[in-house]
Structure 1
Amino acid sequence: MHEADRAEAGRWLARHGLAETEPSPLLVARLAVRRRAKLFDSLLLAGFLLGAALTHVLALATGATSAWPPLLVLAALVAGLLGAQWLLASWVRRADQRAGARLPRRVALPVQLGWEAVLGRPYALFTVATFAGAMLLAVSVLPVSDPGLRYGATVVLIGLAGAGTGIVLQLRQVLASPAVAEDEASLTADVIMRVEDARALVTPSLVWSLPAIFLYGESLGWWNAASVALVVAGVIALSLIHNRGAGVATAARRAMATR
């Protein structure tokens, strides 16, 4: 066990009101894997945006905005992102399973926690509204006569479809995974991690980025202002939900109280 990982686990416990709990090897290992997975996921997202932007620029430069090859490349990028994120999530779950297999005894949740208990209605509504806003913006741009802008809108729609599918699949995995715990404290930590994982999944970094990056054409228009407004409104709404809503630990304890 690395001391840095143990220290980080101690800070994590303190942030969630469990300062009196000693960081166990189980918790240290699970949190360390999640930190690495978060870093890899950020790199995947950056790689996808870079690849999609490069494809978009090349299509505009060669005048291939109405051709199939660029769209096929984008579809492949979306599929690659989804597959890589799924493998990353599976890696985290396998690490959890290996850690749980070494426990002398395991404590299980008596009932399956649902999306409302783990994610929460405000975050779910925010996610749906964010996707709906981005999709509506992209669809509204399709009738514009600028071919580059229409191509960018197609890119946005493909990316949104992939991102939405990935969120649904990974959220199901978060909810369906069995608890990895040996006592009440580690069971509480398990539910807290589920809440953190679910909220991280619906943070709309990709959804905000796609319209702002790809919805541009021969000249600036209302779509550029709408793309910026989508990001600004989303950041404000997410901040309000985060600051005024239940914290991660509170949401986790409420979820456990409904058992």
Structure 2
Amino acid sequence: MAKNPMPGAGPRPVDVRYAETWLLMHRLGDGPPTPLLTARLAVRQRVRLFGSVLQAVLIPGAALALAFGGSRSHRPTLVLALSALVVALVLARALLDAWIRRVDRQAGAALARRAAHLVQPDWRALLGRPHAVLVAGSFAGAFALGASSLAVGEGTARYAAVVVLVAVVGVGIGEALQLRELLARPVVAEDEVSLTADVIMRIEDARESTTPTVLWSLPVVLLFGSAPGWWNAASVGFVVLGMLALITVRFRTPGAAAMARDVVGTR
């Protein structure tokens, strides 16, 4: 890949090594990565790490709300506090996405030329139908578990169901906003290789951000021991079925590199 200057200081050695590994893994050549590609991959690696931390905050935050929600008079306040936490996490996710867009804009401004074949993948290319079905089914299952506990539970179980539903809605809003941004994000590429790399990064971003691990975990963490036995069994079964479905989807859905080459037409 030809070299492209990027504004600011040069890339860190650890970022260069990560970019080299990424190129080899996706069979995009064995040459040194450009500063442009290195910067784009480095920010995605950091955003992926911070995004995992943000999602993980939902579970202990919701568990704390349940632990301190024993007093009926405190429950409305704690539900509002959890709602504020979810809103804060969605806003933080939006700031991380803005960080990626800013780096991509800088990379685009540094391009001496742009690829003539401008590609704008749709949601089928980004996720693949099996992964989209998995995500939709996970949201439906998590919401159904929360709604069922709200309908038949009492006391703490009903309060915890509200917590689950708030968290599920928050995760859904965050993922919908991110997918919308990925669909609208302009392509940053100057040749066939960098165009393929751009589409691969877009697909990886979409699939990573919509993997429903938090949706599987929330019902078990919040309601285990405070809901009827049938509900506890259903929540554990939800996790097991979700993991099995994810493994199946990973085998049935083409990898990001294969999907990107189909989109770009370089097979």
Write the mapping of 1:112-123 to structure 2, written as runs, cut at 5 A: 112-123=120-131
Shift of 1:49: 2.3
Q: Does the aligned pair in 2 maintain the 1:148–1:216 contact within 8 Å?
A: no
Q: Does the aligned pair in 2 maintain the 1:108–1:179 contact within 8 Å?
A: no
Aligned length: 256
| Structure 2 CA distance for aligned equivalents of residues 48 and 182 of structure 1 | 40
Q: Does the aligned pair in 2 maintain the 1:148–1:218 contact within 8 Å?
A: yes
Shift of 1:190: 0.2
| Structure 1 CA distance for aligned equivalents of residues 140 and 52 of structure 2 | 23
Q: 1:207 aligns with which of 208, 212, 215?
A: 215
Shift of 1:90: 0.9
Q: Does the aligned pair in 2 maintain the 1:106–1:183 contact within 8 Å?
A: yes
The Cα RMSD (Å) is 1.8
Which TM-score applies when normalising by structure 2? 0.90
Q: 1:254 aligns with which of 237, 253, 262?
A: 262
AA paired with 1:14? L
Write the mapping of 1:1-259 to structure 2, written as runs, cut at 5 A: 1-60=11-70, 62-64=71-73, 67-107=75-115, 109-218=117-226, 221-257=229-265
Shift of 1:16: 1.1
AA paired with 1:105? R
Q: Does the aligned pair in 2 maintain the 1:64–1:70 contact within 8 Å?
A: no
Q: Does the aligned pair in 1 maintain the 2:130–2:252 contact within 8 Å?
A: no
CA 9–208 in structure 1, closer or farther in 2 if over 3 Å, else same: same
Shift of 1:219: 6.1
Q: Does the aligned pair in 2 maintain the 1:9–1:31 contact within 8 Å?
A: yes
Q: Does the aligned pair in 1 maintain the 2:200–2:256 contact within 8 Å?
A: yes
For structure 2, which runs of at least 5 residues remain unmatched after alignment?
1-10
| Structure 1 CA distance for aligned equivalents of residues 65 and 102 of structure 2 | 34
Shift of 1:212: 1.1
For structure 1, which runs of at least 5 residues remain unmatched after alignment?
none
Shift of 1:107: 2.0
Cα deviation, 1:28-60, whole Å, max 9, x if unaligned, reads 111110111111112212223222221221112
Secondary structure of the residue aligned to 2:224 is coil
Shift of 1:68: 1.8
Q: Does the aligned pair in 2 maintain the 1:146–1:218 contact within 8 Å?
A: no
CA 145–38 in structure 1, closer or farther in 2 if over 3 Å, else same: closer
| Structure 1 CA distance for aligned equivalents of residues 144 and 215 of structure 2 | 12
Shift of 1:20: 3.3
Shift of 1:182: 1.5
Secondary structure of the residue aligned to 1:150 is helix
| Structure 2 CA distance for aligned equivalents of residues 245 and 55 of structure 1 | 38
Cα deviation, 1:197-248, whole Å, max 9, x if unaligned, reads 0001110122112111112354661211211111111111111111232111
Q: Does the aligned pair in 1 maintain the 2:220–2:236 contact within 8 Å?
A: yes
Secondary structure of the residue aligned to 1:18 is coil
